[in-house]
């Protein structure tokens, strides 16, 4: 009988994130090629892991068609040069795709069935806008009033959070968005992101080749005055703007996970240890609230409270969404533990890829902060869900800073 195992995040890398659309750097790059770049980056950085020992490859995409179709885990593994004995599959939980790739592989490792796995996600929102071209929602959603007609419009769900919680003002959201941009640029200037980015060869409209080396959507020059003048595209006189939303983005992420016996046998150095994870559902109309119940569930399963969490990587789908979670748990808008290098408002949110970006950044926080024992990666999910994963810092030394 296989024995239950601890689960470790060994490493993670990602492509730089590009602005979706014809002017974005990945307009002429295939989604599956982005997957391959992220995968080969992780494998090359971990040469002590034999390719034939990878038990499975889970790759998430929200829109599974075209160059994001064809069972991405399997096709990506073949294209990346892994032995044909390595299987793979595709996964979809909209924005929490890569997060679910990791927790699904973690379950298999934790149960003792797998030793090593690759888990990640991709979204090419330039080629595949949210929902794709062929989505056909069941008419019962509307005729039986199961879901509001606009629940699939994420911007409108964000406006509803402002409605429900008047204390979540536009000014607070604007300030949060501005600080995300500033923190991301400061982290770039300090060289924080660069070690975990895989450069991608790209070709422009004229056929000239270039190299994508950093996230394209950043706007460090953002000011409160500028944010105050932006249109509110989701509602006349609304409160959600482009400055407080994650931009449409292309990119891929990849992580290497391992069980305890593989860590010992191959002499691996884990960056994080998985403590607990949880998913939860909420009304689709207020999907941004999803990470609140999923985080409460994950904390309960770990026997922890929010006070035990010393580092937070929260997906900034919208500023108001992060603020709703911070308010719920009594955390200040500018708490230094939260997204210290900025988040998706500045870096971008290639839907199914984002969960592993959060993990890559948390792992880097852990290395810098041995006084922090536990960290949280959490995100809201379209159609009213939340996903949360709690991690333990292997560098933890018990000393207070």
Active site residues: 95, 349, 380
Is the pLDDT at 204 greater than 90? The verdict is no
Q: Model's pTM, two decimal places?
A: 0.97
Helix (H) or strand (E) holding 374: strand 374-381
Question: Could you report the per-residue pLDDT of 334-373, keeping only the tens digit for each?
Answer: 999 999 999 999 999 999 999 999 999 999 999 999 999 9
Domain residue spans of the chain:
7-127+247-389
Contact 321, 385 (CB under 8 A): no
Question: Could you tell me which CATH class the domain 7-127+247-389 is placed in?
Answer: alpha beta
Angle at the Cα of 230 (from 226 to 233), degrees rounded to 5?
A: 160
Q: How many angstroms separate the CA atoms of 250 and 128, rounded?
A: 9
Is the pLDDT at 134 greater than 80? The verdict is no
For every residue of 182-223, which 3-state class applies, written as one string? HHHHHHHHCCCCHHHECCEEEECCCCCEEEECCCCCCCCCCC
Mean pLDDT in residue range 182-203: 98
Query: Which among 268, 243, 320 is positioned nearest to 289, based on CA atoms?
Result: 320
Contact 364, 313 (CB under 8 A): no
Question: Could you report the per-residue pLDDT of 222-278, keeping only the tens digit for each?
Answer: 999 999 999 999 999 999 999 999 999 999 999 999 999 999 999 999 999 999 999
Residue with tokens 């979204």: 123
* Helix and strand element counts for the chain (H, E): 12, 12
């Amino acid at each position: 009988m296989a024995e239950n195992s601890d689960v470790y995040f060994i490493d993670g890398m990602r492509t730089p994130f590009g602005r979706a659309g014809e002017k974005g750097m990945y307009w002429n790059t295939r989604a599956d090629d982005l997957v391959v770049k992220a995968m080969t980056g992780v494998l090359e950085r971990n040469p002590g892991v034999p390719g034939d020992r990878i038990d499975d490859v889970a790759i998430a995409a929200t829109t599974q068609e075209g160059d994001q179709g064809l069972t991405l885990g399997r096709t990506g593994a073949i294209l990346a040069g892994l032995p044909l004995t390595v299987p793979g599959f595709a996964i979809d939980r909209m924005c929490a795709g890569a997060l679910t790739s990791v927790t699904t592989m973690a379950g298999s490792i934790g149960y003792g069935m797998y030793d090593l796995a690759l888990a990640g996600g991709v979204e090419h929102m330039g080629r595949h806008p949210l929902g794709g071209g062929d989505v056909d929602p069941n008419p019962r959603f509307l005729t039986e009033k199961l879901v509001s007609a606009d629940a699939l419009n994420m911007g409108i769900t964000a406006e509803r959070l402002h409605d429900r919680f008047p204390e979540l003002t536009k000014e607070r959201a604007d300030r949060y968005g501005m600080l995300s941009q500033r923190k991301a640029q400061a982290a770039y200037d300090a060289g924080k992101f660069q070690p975990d980015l895989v450069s991608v060869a790209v070709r422009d409209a004229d056929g000239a080749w270039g190299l994508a080396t950093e996230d394209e959507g950043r706007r460090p020059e953002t000011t409160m005055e500028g944010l105050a003048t932006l249109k509110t595209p989701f509602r006349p006189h609304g409160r959600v703007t482009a400055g407080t939303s994650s931009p449409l983005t292309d990119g891929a992420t990849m992580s290497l996970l391992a069980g305890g016996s593989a860590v010992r046998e191959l002499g691996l150095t884990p960056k994080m240890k998985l403590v607990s994870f949880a998913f939860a559902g909420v009304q689709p109309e207020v999907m941004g609230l999803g990470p609140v119940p999923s985080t409460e569930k994950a904390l309960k399963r770990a026997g922890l409270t929010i006070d035990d969490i010393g580092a937070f990587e929260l997906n900034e789908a919208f500023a108001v969404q992060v603020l709703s979670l911070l308010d719920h748990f009594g955390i200040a808008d500018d708490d230094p533990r939260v997204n210290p290098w900025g988040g998706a408002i500045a870096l971008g949110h290639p839907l199914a890829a984002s969960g592993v970006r959060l993990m890559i950044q948390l792992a880097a926080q852990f290395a810098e902060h041995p006084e922090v024992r536990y960290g949280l990666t959490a995100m809201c999910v379209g159609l009213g869900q939340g996903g949360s994963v709690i991690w333990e810092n292997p560098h933890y030394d018990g000393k207070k800073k």
